[in-house]
Amino acid sequence: MEGFSFSTAVTVRFAETDAQGIAHHASFVVWLEVARVAYLDEFAGGYQAIRDRGLEALTTEVQLRYHKAAYFHERLTIWTRCVGLRGSRFRYEYRITRGDVLVAEGHTSHAIVLRDTYRATRVPEWLSSAISKAESASS
Amino acid sequence: MEGFSFSTAVTVRFAETDAQGIAHHASFVVWLEVARVAYLDEFAGGYQAIRDRGLEALTTEVQLRYHKAAYFHERLTIWTRCVGLRGSRFRYEYRITRGDVLVAEGHTSHAIVLRDTYRATRVPEWLSSAISKAESASS
Amino acid sequence: MEGFSFSTAVTVRFAETDAQGIAHHASFVVWLEVARVAYLDEFAGGYQAIRDRGLEALTTEVQLRYHKAAYFHERLTIWTRCVGLRGSRFRYEYRITRGDVLVAEGHTSHAIVLRDTYRATRVPEWLSSAISKAESASS
Amino acid sequence: MEGFSFSTAVTVRFAETDAQGIAHHASFVVWLEVARVAYLDEFAGGYQAIRDRGLEALTTEVQLRYHKAAYFHERLTIWTRCVGLRGSRFRYEYRITRGDVLVAEGHTSHAIVLRDTYRATRVPEWLSSAISKAESASS
């Protein structure tokens, strides 16, 4: 997808559906997290590398727009990019597709904090440069 | 809370926490739904009244901004109002508080569809007037 | 219910249903936890009282037999009793009812561990006597 | 693993952990379902093939024994076999491993029902013979 160099796939689990017969809208929020973890695995040594340094990435905002229903067992692609690193903050943008169809799109915002105090702290240099490198490769 | 006449309460379940030691951000999305269901119970005969007429309310957008972490067993208040009914669409706005503290805020957008075809259809008169009545009482 | 002196109630959330139109079977496992937390609130100062002493109660077994489907928005009663304290271990038994109907029944087993090392440790005296007192009152 | 010819893998999601820092015990119940779906994909045309014939497989029992904690991002193998087909009923058995370590084991029981009435009905011939073939290949 234009503007996105990374994607990961999820298959809709039965437990993720609801009585409307479709994937529950909160399931998508979990999938975005799965995509972020896969992104960090690919480009920055994994989320555990962040945790191992006594840091956590908190989620400070979630926004999702649902265009199409998703159904049990469908394989969805989650296009993911990380943008807007500044100080302790950064943001991911997503497009969720099924084949050529745009199923949903959205973004999440995050802040790096010290695990012990939950105080915001600058995104570490190794992480910001890993992300910059990943994203510059895509343009 | 000013501008909100309805609220419901949830207590953070242990299953809703994550390894950061806080309520997982996707749990909040489920609580918004709990609040909508409680709102419809109070003002419009329950969500089942919608389903009994062969309709479903799809969620077309979710947006949440997290200001504070929420912890296991905390009792949160979800202030809820329904605004912007137009055609098949309407929107809920939320503030989630713990005592005087604003924990999160956001909105969701919805569309009424026919269950069999998933086609958008006008919000039925009984529902829109129930909501108008509920919300005019609050101002 | 005979043999049970404690119960708590849950209302089936829409997010807890699945595409079979019923409450997903994993939702029941979460409800059992809600019931244990309510039980400890009632009789032993809450689960947090256990955590505040540097302990955790791990779940070592879950068993559930489903007799009837549960549906969105139904109010279920979870009858709960704690039995078989021995050393670091104890067990809860449950009956889940909707009015007079037995919807499900099962048990869970638990072990008290030190949070820092995850080593099993004796159920503390204050907790075992609180449970004994609660359960002797029921017979 | 001896006695099991089929396995599928899951990676522990962050959303599946809890404030004990480990995978929540209800997450395992969802993974067993993921494994059953993968099993049916492999041997019987998928769970959708069952649904497409107007049938559902209800879960009538879950039993899980947890031997070790599982942590965020760990890759677990779910060994799965289907046994004991009789009338409308069948049963799956599972071992969940991380490398050589047995993390959990358990079983689930199921009944085939007609979707419209939820009445039990015989496991269809095509499904029982697909399962028999899969399991005889493993011994």
Q: Reading across the β-sheet that carries A6-11, which strands appear in turn? A: A6-11, A75-86, A89-98, A101-114, A55-66, B55-66, B101-114, B89-98, B75-86, B6-11
If DSSP states are collapsed to H, E and C, what string results for C87-130?
CCEEEEEEEEEECCEEEEEEEEEEEEEECCCCCECCCCHHHHHH
Q: Tell me how far CA of residue D34 lies from CA of A47, A60, B24, B127, D83, in angstroms.
A: 24, 30, 22, 39, 18
pLDDT at D84: 87
What's the burial of A21, exposed, middle or buried (CB within 10 Å: 0-12/13-18/19+)? middle
User: Could you report the per-residue pLDDT of C17-33, keeping only the tens digit for each?
Assistant: 999 999 999 999 999 99
Every domain of chain B and the residues it spans = 6-138
Tokens of B18: 């994550």
Stretch D88-92: mean pLDDT: 97
* Residue A106 pLDDT exceeds 60: yes
User: Could you report the per-residue pLDDT of C48-104, keeping only the tens digit for each?
Assistant: 899 999 999 999 999 999 999 999 999 999 999 999 899 999 999 999 999 999 999
Which chain A residues are Cβ-neighbours of B69 within 8 angstroms? 58, 118
Stretch D52-77: mean pLDDT: 96
- D22 min Cα distance to partner chain A (Å): 14
Q: How distant is the alpha carbon of residue B19 from its chain centre?
A: 26
Stretch D96-119: mean pLDDT: 96
Which chain B residues are Cβ-neighbours of D18 within 8 angstroms? 14-15, 17-19
User: Could you report the per-residue pLDDT of A70-100, keeping only the tens digit for each?
Assistant: 999 999 999 999 998 999 999 999 999 999 9
* Residue C36 pLDDT exceeds 80: yes
Contact B58/A65, CB-based, under 8 Å? no
* Residue D137 pLDDT exceeds 80: no
pLDDT at B84: 87
The pLDDT-based confidence of D138 (bands split at 50, 70, 90) is low
Contact C65/D66, CB-based, under 8 Å? no
pLDDT at B1: 85
Percent of chain C with pLDDT over 70: 99
* Residue A139 pLDDT exceeds 70: no
Q: Is residue B133 within 8 Å of residue B117, measured between CB atoms?
A: no
Determine how many CB atoms are found less than 10 A away from the CB of residue B45.
Answer: 14
Stretch D68-76: mean pLDDT: 97
- Helix C25-44 to helix C125-138 angle, to the nearest 10 degrees? 100
Domain D6-136 is found in CATH 3.10.129.10: yes
Instruction: Give pLDDT < 50 ranges for chain B.
Output: none
pLDDT at C84: 87
Query: Torsions phi, psi of A76, nearest 5?
Result: -110, 145
pLDDT at B79: 98
Stretch A2-12: mean pLDDT: 95
User: Could you report the per-residue pLDDT of A18-45, keeping only the tens digit for each?
Assistant: 999 999 999 999 999 999 999 999 999 9
Dihedral of alpha carbons A37, A39, A45, A51, sign: negative
pLDDT at D1: 85
CATH class of C6-134: alpha beta
* Residue C138 pLDDT exceeds 70: no
Say which of C29, C58, C65 has its CB closest to residue D60. Answer: C65
Radius of gyration of chain C (CA): 15
CATH number for the region B6-138 comes to 3.10.129.10
- Interface confidence, given as ipTM, is 0.95
The size of the C-D interface in CB pairs under 8 A is 51
